[in-house]
């Protein structure tokens, strides 16, 4: 997606963002950059700024650390001298940082409207209902596993019920851990990551079932649920499900020697049509390690793909599979204006948009995260 398209997108979606004080609107790029740099200097080690891989360039250039959500949360927690963790990402990421942070640290999300459509597809009350209905169906030996792209309340439920969190990097290891402890797994909220990972591990598709939280009994017959080794929550990533097999075929027609690599949040048929699949970090490392002159079609968020092409692997040809460009619209809500607002607020001893997970949720969510970290 080129800069002009991004600007047009920004104008169309500005109403979706958290409102800012009038004097933070209409600032030039130069003035915002100058004031952000000045605020960072004034705060010194009291603040650490985190930037997720999918964040826009105008924001991520100010990040002390870049990476995926778990990597960033752990790095922030290791910065003991920092009182404030400014997470340029989405809501569940800021929650994870708060769960793993020290008591003296406060986590800030520059725009409270920056959520995650996938995380929103699974609510705590829906999970509790699912758990009761599975029990009523006689489905025993279930270990719950939730993707890190989920709310703290879900992580807490999973921790309290003997399960754990996973990332796209360690999904196979966490599923293996869970199957050592139970006959079957309830995996949420992204059905595609669960399906693609389990299939790679040798689980046939006919031993997987999809639980629809909007249907009575998840839309499953009791026998279907009892015979499944993996029960997948009906959720998905709105970015990664935009990639198609047709896009892969179109890329191969243009570049016969090119390779396709996609994120495992893509649909099963797209992952099967690709040459490789893996987490964001895996995609970065694989493309970076390939020979100079390699050609890659990449199925993940456009800001990361563009950064791969211009900064990580400039001696290779790297392009998105989607000619329009798959943008994470909720991540895009974090703007330089919002970053400036929260940083200058801290200079004035005002904390805007603090993300604080309730203590009881934090306790059990940390259990679920610690279980995952113990098997990494």
The rounded percent of the chain whose pLDDT value lies above 90 is 76
**Which residue intervals of the chain bear CATH 3.40.50.10800?**
3-116+330-358, 119-237, 240-320
Q: Which CATH superfamily includes the segment(s) 119-237?
A: NadA-like (3.40.50.10800)
92 vs 231, more confident: 231
Residues 341-358, mean pLDDT to the nearest whole number: 96
Residues 6-33, mean pLDDT to the nearest whole number: 72
- Whether the per-residue pLDDT at 115 is higher than 90: the answer is no
pTM passes above 0.85? yes
Minimum mean pLDDT range among 24-28, 207-211, 231-235: 24-28
Rounded to the nearest 10 degrees, the angle between the axes of helix 91-100 and helix 359-375 is 80
Minimum mean pLDDT range among 46-55, 141-150, 157-166, 243-252: 46-55
182, with CB counted inside 10 A (0-12, 13-18, 19+), is middle
- Whether the per-residue pLDDT at 136 is higher than 90: the answer is yes
Q: What is the pLDDT of residues 223-250, one digit of tens each?
A: 999 999 999 999 999 889 999 999 999 9
Start-to-end CA span in the chain (Å):
35
Distance, CA of 149 to CA of 115 (rounded, Å): 10
Distance, CA of 151 to CA of 189 (rounded, Å): 10
Residues 317-333, mean pLDDT to the nearest whole number: 79
How distant is the alpha carbon of residue 216 from its chain centre? 29
Minimum mean pLDDT range among 42-46, 74-78, 151-155, 242-246: 74-78
Backbone angles phi, psi at 317, to 5 degrees: -100, 115
Distance, CA of 160 to CA of 363 (rounded, Å): 9
Q: Which H or E element spans position 71?
A: helix 69-78
Minimum mean pLDDT range among 20-29, 39-48, 307-316: 307-316
Distance, CA of 60 to CA of 292 (rounded, Å): 26
Strand locations in 202-339 (E): 208-211, 230-233, 259-262, 276-277, 295-299, 317-320
Q: Confidence band (pLDDT; 50, 70, 90) for 117?
A: confident
Q: Please tell me the predicted confidence (pLDDT) of residue 287.
A: 96
- Tell me the range of 55-64, 264-273, 295-304 where mean pLDDT is highest: 264-273
Minimum mean pLDDT range among 21-35, 68-82, 307-321: 68-82
Q: Please tell me the predicted confidence (pLDDT) of residue 7.
A: 45
Q: Please tell me the predicted confidence (pLDDT) of residue 350.
A: 97
Q: Please tell me the predicted confidence (pLDDT) of residue 251.
A: 97
Distances 333 to 61, 72, 216, 260, 264 between C-alpha atoms, Å = 16, 19, 35, 29, 24
Q: Confidence band (pLDDT; 50, 70, 90) for 14?
A: very low
Q: What is the DSSP string of 44-66?
A: GGGEEEEEETTS-HHHHTT-SEE
Q: Which two tokens mark 40?
A: 């960072």
- Whether the per-residue pLDDT at 131 is higher than 80: the answer is yes
Residues 94-117, mean pLDDT to the nearest whole number: 91
Q: Please tell me the predicted confidence (pLDDT) of residue 18.
A: 77
8 A C-beta contact, residue 261 and residue 298 = yes
Residues 30-49, mean pLDDT to the nearest whole number: 96
Distances 188 to 147, 173, 259 between C-alpha atoms, Å = 6, 16, 30
CB-based burial, 333-350: b 16+ in 10 Å, e otherwise: bbbbbbbbbbbbbbeeee
Of residues 205, 171, 180, the one with CA closest to residue 70: 171
Q: Which H or E element spans position 171?
A: helix 171-179
Q: What value, to the nearest 5°, has the Cα angle with vertex 69 and ends 115 and 373? A: 130
Q: Please tell me the predicted confidence (pLDDT) of residue 1.
A: 42
CATH topology of domain 3-116+330-358: Rossmann fold (3.40.50)
346 vs 79, more confident: 346
CATH topology of domain 240-320: Rossmann fold (3.40.50)
Q: Confidence band (pLDDT; 50, 70, 90) for 216?
A: very high
Q: Which two tokens mark 12?
A: 């169309």
Distance, CA of 20 to CA of 283 (rounded, Å): 36
- Whether the per-residue pLDDT at 360 is higher than 60: the answer is yes
- Whether the per-residue pLDDT at 3 is higher than 60: the answer is no
Q: What is the pLDDT of residues 163-194, one digit of tens each?
A: 999 999 999 999 999 999 999 999 999 999 99
């Amino acid at each position: 997606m080129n800069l002009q398209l991004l600007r047009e997108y920004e104008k169309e979606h500005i109403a979706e963002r958290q409102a800012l004080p009038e004097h933070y609107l209409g600032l030039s790029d130069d003035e915002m950059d100058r004031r952000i740099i000045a605020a960072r200097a004034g705060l010194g080690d009291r603040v650490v700024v985190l930037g997720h891989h999918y964040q826009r360039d105008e924001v991520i250039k100010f990040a002390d650390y870049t990476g995926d959500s778990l990597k960033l949360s752990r790095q922030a927690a290791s910065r003991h001298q920092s009182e404030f963790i400014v997470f340029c990402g989405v809501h569940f990421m800021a929650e994870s940082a708060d769960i793993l942070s020290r008591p003296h640290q406060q986590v800030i999300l520059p725009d409270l409207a920056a959520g995650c459509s996938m995380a929103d597809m699974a609510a705590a009350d829906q999970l509790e209902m699912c758990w009761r209905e599975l029990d009523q169906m006689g489905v025993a030996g279930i270990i719950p596993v939730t993707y890190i792209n989920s709310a703290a309340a879900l992580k807490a439920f999973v921790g309290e019920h003997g399960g754990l969190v996973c990332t796209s990097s360690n999904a196979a290891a966490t599923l293996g851990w869970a199957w050592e402890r139970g006959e079957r797994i309830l995996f949420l909220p992204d059905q595609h990551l669960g399906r693609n990972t389990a299939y790679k591990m040798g689980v046939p598709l006919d031993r997987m079932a999809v639980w629809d939280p909007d249907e009575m009994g998840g839309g499953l017959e009791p026998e279907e649920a009892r015979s499944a080794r993996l029960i997948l929550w009906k959720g998905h990533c709105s970015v990664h499900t935009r990639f198609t097999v047709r896009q892969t075929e179109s890329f191969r027609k243009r570049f016969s020697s090119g390779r396709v690599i996609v994120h495992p949040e893509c649909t099963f048929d797209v992952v099967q049509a690709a040459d490789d699949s893996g987490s964001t970090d895996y995609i970065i490392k694989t493309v970076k390690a390939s020979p100079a002159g390699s050609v890659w079609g990449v199925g993940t968020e456009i800001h990361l793909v563009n950064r791969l092409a211009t900064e990580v692997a400039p001696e290779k040809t790297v392009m998105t599979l989607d000619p329009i460009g798959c943008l994470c619209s909720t991540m895009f809500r974090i703007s330089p204006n919002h970053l400036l607002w929260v940083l200058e607020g801290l200079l004035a001893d005002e904390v805007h948009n603090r993300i604080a997970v309730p203590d009881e949720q934090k306790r059990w969510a940390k259990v679920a995260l610690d279980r995952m970290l113990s098997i990494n």
